[in-house]
A = this chain, B = another copy of it.
């Protein structure tokens, strides 16, 4: 290989691909980045066997080639170099890196040792804007289970039904569902489950993009393709729970609450609920108030009252405060609608105006 690239582009590619590099683990090759050339561009690849990333950058390619390099060292080296342009070449198994002042040599490992990052052929199943996908993922990712005791619960459910894409996640204590009306029409139908860990990484990558993402699916993997980045993930096998049945219909009590005030009140209460697994008590009062309380025998107690528009009768319920903070942090709506029907039924949070998102929390017995 003999190639020239801009430091800025290479550093960006390494910071994105570097996120999936395994720093500890049995397979040393997974701590490497693969550098290769393809159709006049340089390709930076990384995989942890669950996620694969290919990142292409432009440059001047004089000679094709490929090799793998320790990811951390390569990234640190590129970030420390001060010149704008970096020349990379391979001599046997040594990667030669030249900048204006520097003549560096890093011992590489043959690209043949690197796991193949699978690619998917054919037509995309759907096309979606990167920002819309990112916002949707951020509204469901936190509701997935962190452990993999029941694998399907550690995943995000993608349900494509023609022009509608539905994302959902549940750890059995709470459920989040987001519906997206696709702008690019589709007639396909498909249901898959993708690891939530993977989708958290995808969401981070999408934050920097503003373009259409093509999604390809085959039997055991999914590929998200941007212009210069391909992101591949394994799928989770199994049947996602039939969660529709637990979404309540009409509720007895409804409060329209300022999101910031609600969020601050929950934050204060959770400081006093550490002993009791974040259990906080919410009282909805038809006189136009929501009261949030937490009591700790050791450290003290909190009592916060905020004004709200109340529809229906008084209500009282206990929740894990962290579950409420998760949704209030991500739901970008100035006001939220909080609904409930007695202390034993699940509570519901929606944004005030849109009905394309619903978040259900199971109550705690207090």
Interface size class of A (residues with CB under 8 A): 20 to 34
A78-114 toward B: CB 8 Å interface, digit per residue (1/0)? 0011100000000000110000011111110000000
B302 and A102 contact, CB distance less than 8 A: yes
Closest residue on chain B to residue A264 by CB atoms: B82
A101 and B265 contact, CB distance less than 8 A: yes
Closest residue on chain B to residue A274 by CB atoms: B73
Roughly how many angstroms separate A298 CA and B261 CA in the complex, as a whole number?
56
Roughly how many angstroms separate A94 CA and B295 CA in the complex, as a whole number?
14
B306 and A104 contact, CB distance less than 8 A: no
A300 and B105 contact, CB distance less than 8 A: yes
Among A80, A94, A107, A299, the one with the most B-chain Cβ atoms within 10 Å of its Cβ is: A80
With both chains docked as a complex, state the minimum distance between the C-beta of A41 and any C-beta of chain B, in angstroms. 25
Q: A101-B265, A265-B101 are in contact. Are A80 and B303 (CB under 8 A)?
A: no
Contacts of A305 in B (CB 8 A): 101, 103
Roughly how many angstroms separate A103 CA and B304 CA in the complex, as a whole number?
6
A264-286 toward B: CB 8 Å interface, digit per residue (1/0)? 11011001100000000000000
Roughly how many angstroms separate A314 CA and B181 CA in the complex, as a whole number?
72
Q: A80-B267, A261-B82 are in contact. Are A300 and B104 (CB under 8 A)?
A: yes
B302 and A73 contact, CB distance less than 8 A: no
25 contacts between A and B (CB under 8 A): A70-B299, A73-B271, A73-B300, A77-B268, A77-B271, A80-B264, A80-B267, A80-B271, A81-B264, A82-B264, A94-B300, A95-B300, A101-B261, A101-B265, A101-B304, A102-B302, A103-B302, A103-B305, A104-B301, A104-B302, A104-B303, A105-B300, A105-B301, A106-B300, A107-B300
Give me the interface of A with B, judged by CB distance under 8 Å.
70, 73, 76-77, 80-82, 94-95, 101-107, 260-261, 264-265, 267-268, 271-272, 298-306
